[in-house]
Structure 1
Amino acid sequence: MTSNQGVVQDVAAQDVIVPTAEQLHWQRLEVGMFFHFGINTFHAKEWSDGSLPASSFDPTELDADEWVALAVAAGATYVVLTAKHHDGFCLWPTATTDYSVASSPWRDGKGDVVAEVAAACRAAGIGLGLYLSPWDRNHPAYQDPEAYADVYVAQLTELCTRYGPLVELWFDGAGSEGYSYDWARTMEVAHTHQPQAMVFNMGAPTIRWVGNEDGLASDPVEYVVHHTQMSNYTVVSTQFAEALYLPPECDVSVRRGWFWAEDDEPKSLEHLLAIYYRSVGLGANLLLNVPPDRRGRIDAADAAVVTAFGDEVRARFGDPVAAAVTRTGDTTWRADLGDEPVKLDHVLVREDLTAGQRVARHEVRLGGTLVAAGGTVGAGRLHVVDAPATRELEIELEGPDARLAEVLVYRTGHRTAPVVPEDYTAPTDYPED
């Protein structure tokens, strides 16, 4: 399992950074769905080198509505599509290269995967994010950073101006070690055409990678950091001149690989639930990848477990009891659950983040007895508790001017948290493809 240790640095109290309204909105989205789809899908590859023929891209049954419907069923509020992966193959007809859907037999060369996914998202009422790999293993201009900057800026401009509002722009640092991109020009495009979109991890980021591909955060989940890690395959980091508020996104694939492969299988429901508890349950966003197959459809086994995941999350957390929260001291708060005792086995605590992340540690008590404790709270901290029915809880927050926003309790019927299988190991061999 890849560790994310070292990705987050402690930040002194005087460095508390206030998030933007767009960042707070993105954090409330909680769950997104990743769609890795492209030329690799037709060759059982993860990282191809840009030489696979465009003529091999031919998803004869592509159904973007099915993809997005599964995202909704999973509880996702936005999707991120790999518009261009490291191989350089573009899923939209671009003026910057012949290596795109326009050179494929799909839709007689007149198709646009990005447009179809964008339309499906609009119809379903969920957000659209786009992944545009900075690394391009096909385009000849990549060997000249100045010339490639023109190409990359043009590609991003096309994506930012053709498909409506975007929730997120996803810049993957893999393969870019030592390369000098023109991030000033790139960010000018993003800020001009999609100012509300979150920028993932590179350029002028507003959100960051959690530091592993397991989908797992670890306590503490700190939103203010001095650097981000570029990829899963290097210790290289991007250092900032000053600390930035960058909440993390936990990306993980439902399968071992990111692109669909016939001999791959999805993770179990228990594993997906464990990921949810270790991402959303720690105050990070979850981006769950579900790769469409060569038909352009969702594999039945993937659809089944992802649908079950969404159903189970709703069954556990869809009917909370909201507490009336009042401050009782400098660091203490009371969560009043009403006149009648409430049976509960989970507690969700949310921090007031409008003035920045301030909680460094917290405790939950019932009648003076400690029932849960941890480090950061952030957008939401989920605890499994074994406690009797109660009418109130006491919350203690440690941190400068720490404030509680909300307390929700649940009776799920589960008094233990799901766990990642002991024999699970995250893949680390993609660059060898």
Structure 2
Amino acid sequence: MLRSFRLRLLHLSCLLLPAGLLAQTTKVAPPAPVLPLPTPQQLAWHEMEMNAFVHFTTNTFTDLEWGYGDEQPAIFNPTQTDAGQWARTLKETGFKTMILTCKHHDGFCLWPSKYTEHSIKHSPYKNGKGDIVREASDACKKYGLKFGVYLSPWDRNRADYGSPSYVTYYRNQLKELFTQYGPVFEMWFDGANGGDGYYGGARERRRINGATYYDWPTTLQMVRGIQPNVIFFSDAGPGVRWVGNERGVAGETNWNTISTDTLYAGKPNINTLLNTGSPDGKQWVPAEVDVSIRPGWFYHAKEDSEVKTPEELFDIYLTSVGRGSTLLLNVPPDRRGLFHENDVKALRGFAALLKKEFAKNLALKAPVKADSYRGKQPAFAARNLTDGNKATYWATDDDKTTGNFEITLPANSTVQYIVLQEYIKLGQRVKTFTVEAWQDGDWKKITEGTTIGYKRILKIAPTKTNKIRVNITDAKACPVISNVEIY
């Protein structure tokens, strides 16, 4: 009888509670994931934001971009190679990974591979005892960078290129790199396959079927068996895809999702598809933005005056990292084996510009309110947007694919950049949004966009305001936003 009375009393008290307070007493589940989702390795890749390419081989000494394959190893003779200078410069200027061209299309190997004589062991460098891959890997460890390898599938030197034995050769070299040089964060291979070459003296043009010749699934499975956490870049992934150009520009609409079974060489408008991704893509394969600090990928003295300026690099940052991709910037060593002074100066200027433009986040810990939040639960409230914690987020109820939040700045300030981030552990959702500033007693639209993804940086005309409002106007499911920054 007493138990029955207590239950009736509890029921009565619930009826008397305000609706909002009652909702807070009921646990609400987090939003269901919107598939596909990034792997832990892909999440780590997203958070790198800026990685570096290092193109270095016989081309550095022949003034070519693509070596023919008949270059003599003796031509490779850098006199002051210092991989520590590469890694130190990259670390100091904000880069997280260094990817080395261990073998380019010319077939010359920067390590003493036991499977070929066309390598550094027959060069004058350190009297044939040198190993650039070892030096680069060790330098990355010393300066706290991740290490990546580029191994060209095409080999214009090998006599057996085009036959099954070459695929065995290629896999054997991958085994060397992945067993002897420490952890490899990213493996890079591109789509330049087949054409004219030296081919052991044949001097002819060879064609291969890029879709079947290399049997990539078997090769990647082999590499994963050695280092399970490696992320693979190729034109279509499976870990990271090409962005469709080498200008440093990701799509303003940039979905991390794409259906890899729809991609093939020669597909009409494939570069556009790679640039934008697909909202209904079946795999999470984000775009990596590869671009060189110089017109070419290898060092050429004639390009010393054509190094991209800090301002140009900053603009590329906004069209790569600022559009939800990761920047892969190539910095090629010169014939001494050093990053050229002009390149170093540009990198330092770029780093200083980044620091200056993003010096103070006006939104950090700022008051924020939303038109609604999930189940009226604090775990999903708007305050999560400005708490500086990437593990928290604002989310709406499942039946709402729109919503807005308003941030009040500490004072009337000049705003030039808005940074938005989705909580991509639950998938990419936002299709369109607008941003407004409070001016002259009213809201005025200052910019708009489509996708957000891991990070979206919006550069606007300098705007004086004390309040910013973001309106999510369409999404695949309830929006889930983890971070907002204002500069």
Q: Shared fold (TM-score greater than 0.5)?
A: yes
Task: Report the residue type matching 1:404 in the other structure.
Answer: I
Contact 1:345 1:384 in 2 (8 A): yes
For the pair 1:363 / 2:434, whether they are aligned, the reply is yes
Relative to structure 1, the CA distance from residue 156 to residue 233 in structure 2 (aligned partners, 3 Å threshold; closer, same or farther) is farther
Other structure's SS at 1:277 match: helix
1:342-369 deviation digits (Å, cap 9, x = unpaired): 5422110111111211111111223432
Task: Report the residue type matching 2:250 in the other structure.
Answer: A
Number of the residue aligned with 2:12: none
Bigger shift: residues 67-76 or 334-343: 334-343
Other structure's SS at 1:297 match: coil
Other structure's SS at 1:283 match: coil
Relative to structure 1, the CA distance from residue 26 to residue 335 in structure 2 (aligned partners, 3 Å threshold; closer, same or farther) is farther
Bigger shift: residues 56-65 or 320-329: 320-329
Q: CA deviation at 1:147?
A: 0.9
Contact 1:90 1:99 in 2 (8 A): yes
Q: CA deviation at 1:37?
A: 0.3
Number of the residue aligned with 2:124: 105
Amino-acid identity (%): 35
Other structure's SS at 2:425 match: coil
Residues in 2 aligned to 1:125 and 1:66: alpha-carbon distance in whole angstroms: 13
Residues in 2 aligned to 1:79 and 1:319: alpha-carbon distance in whole angstroms: 28
For the pair 1:263 / 2:313, whether they are aligned, the reply is no
Q: CA deviation at 1:405?
A: 1.0
Other structure's SS at 2:483 match: strand
Q: CA deviation at 1:114?
A: 0.8
Residues in 1 aligned to 2:429 and 2:446: alpha-carbon distance in whole angstroms: 22
Number of the residue aligned with 2:214: 181
Task: Report the residue type matching 1:387 in the other structure.
Answer: T
Number of the residue aligned with 2:344: 303
Residues in 1 aligned to 2:85 and 2:268: alpha-carbon distance in whole angstroms: 36
**TM-score after normalising by structure 1:** 0.85
For the pair 1:66 / 2:85, whether they are aligned, the reply is yes
For the pair 1:336 / 2:401, whether they are aligned, the reply is no
Contact 1:339 1:391 in 2 (8 A): no
- Alpha-carbon RMSD across the aligned residues, in angstroms, is 2.6
For the pair 1:407 / 2:426, whether they are aligned, the reply is no
Counterpart selection for 2:244 from 208, 211, 218: 211
Number of the residue aligned with 1:191: 224
**Alignment of structure 1 residues 208-247 onto 2, 5 Å:** 208-227=241-260, 243-247=282-286
Contact 1:172 1:230 in 2 (8 A): no
Number of the residue aligned with 1:6: none
Number of the residue aligned with 2:382: none
Residues in 1 aligned to 2:405 and 2:285: alpha-carbon distance in whole angstroms: 30
**Any unmatched runs of 5+ in structure 1?**
1-13, 411-433
Relative to structure 1, the CA distance from residue 110 to residue 203 in structure 2 (aligned partners, 3 Å threshold; closer, same or farther) is farther
Contact 1:212 1:232 in 2 (8 A): no
Counterpart selection for 1:390 from 466, 469, 477: 466
Residues in 2 aligned to 1:216 and 1:229: alpha-carbon distance in whole angstroms: 20
Other structure's SS at 2:463 match: coil
Number of the residue aligned with 1:253: 292
1:268-289 deviation digits (Å, cap 9, x = unpaired): 2222121111111111111111
Number of the residue aligned with 2:454: 379
Q: CA deviation at 1:340?
A: 4.2
Bigger shift: residues 358-367 or 329-338: 329-338
Counterpart selection for 1:284 from 325, 330, 342: 325
Task: Report the residue type matching 1:102 in the other structure.
Answer: K
Residues in 2 aligned to 1:58 and 1:300: alpha-carbon distance in whole angstroms: 20
Other structure's SS at 1:388 match: strand
Counterpart selection for 1:169 from 180, 184, 187: 187
**Any unmatched runs of 5+ in structure 2?**
1-32, 195-207, 373-399
Task: Report the residue type matching 2:257 in the other structure.
Answer: V
Task: Report the residue type matching 2:193 in the other structure.
Answer: G
Task: Report the residue type matching 2:425 in the other structure.
Answer: T
For the pair 1:272 / 2:313, whether they are aligned, the reply is yes
Number of the residue aligned with 2:21: none
**TM-score after normalising by structure 2:** 0.76
Q: CA deviation at 1:235?
A: 7.1
Task: Report the residue type matching 1:310 in the other structure.
Answer: A
Number of the residue aligned with 2:67: 48
Q: CA deviation at 1:233?
A: 13
Residues in 2 aligned to 1:136 and 1:202: alpha-carbon distance in whole angstroms: 18
Relative to structure 1, the CA distance from residue 327 to residue 192 in structure 2 (aligned partners, 3 Å threshold; closer, same or farther) is farther
Number of the residue aligned with 1:76: 95
Contact 2:34 2:429 in 1 (8 A): no
Structure with the larger RCO, 1 or 2 (CA within 8 Å, 6+ apart): 1
Going by fraction, where is helix more abundant, 1 or 2? 2
Residues in 1 aligned to 2:456 and 2:333: alpha-carbon distance in whole angstroms: 32
Q: CA deviation at 1:160?
A: 1.0
Contact 2:300 2:334 in 1 (8 A): yes
Residues in 1 aligned to 2:254 and 2:346: alpha-carbon distance in whole angstroms: 28
Alignment length, in residue pairs? 395
Other structure's SS at 1:121 match: helix
Contact 2:421 2:484 in 1 (8 A): yes
Contact 2:101 2:151 in 1 (8 A): yes
Q: CA deviation at 1:391?
A: 4.3
Task: Report the residue type matching 1:336 in the other structure.
Answer: I
Find the structure with the greater CA-based Rg. Answer: 2
Number of the residue aligned with 2:137: 118
Residues in 1 aligned to 2:92 and 2:334: alpha-carbon distance in whole angstroms: 19
Residues in 2 aligned to 1:353 and 1:73: alpha-carbon distance in whole angstroms: 28
Residues in 2 aligned to 1:31 and 1:198: alpha-carbon distance in whole angstroms: 15
1:54-87 deviation digits (Å, cap 9, x = unpaired): 1111111000011112212331111111011011
Other structure's SS at 2:218 match: helix
Q: CA deviation at 1:232?
A: 11
Task: Report the residue type matching 2:285 in the other structure.
Answer: L
Bigger shift: residues 221-230 or 305-314: 221-230
Relative to structure 1, the CA distance from residue 153 to residue 362 in structure 2 (aligned partners, 3 Å threshold; closer, same or farther) is same
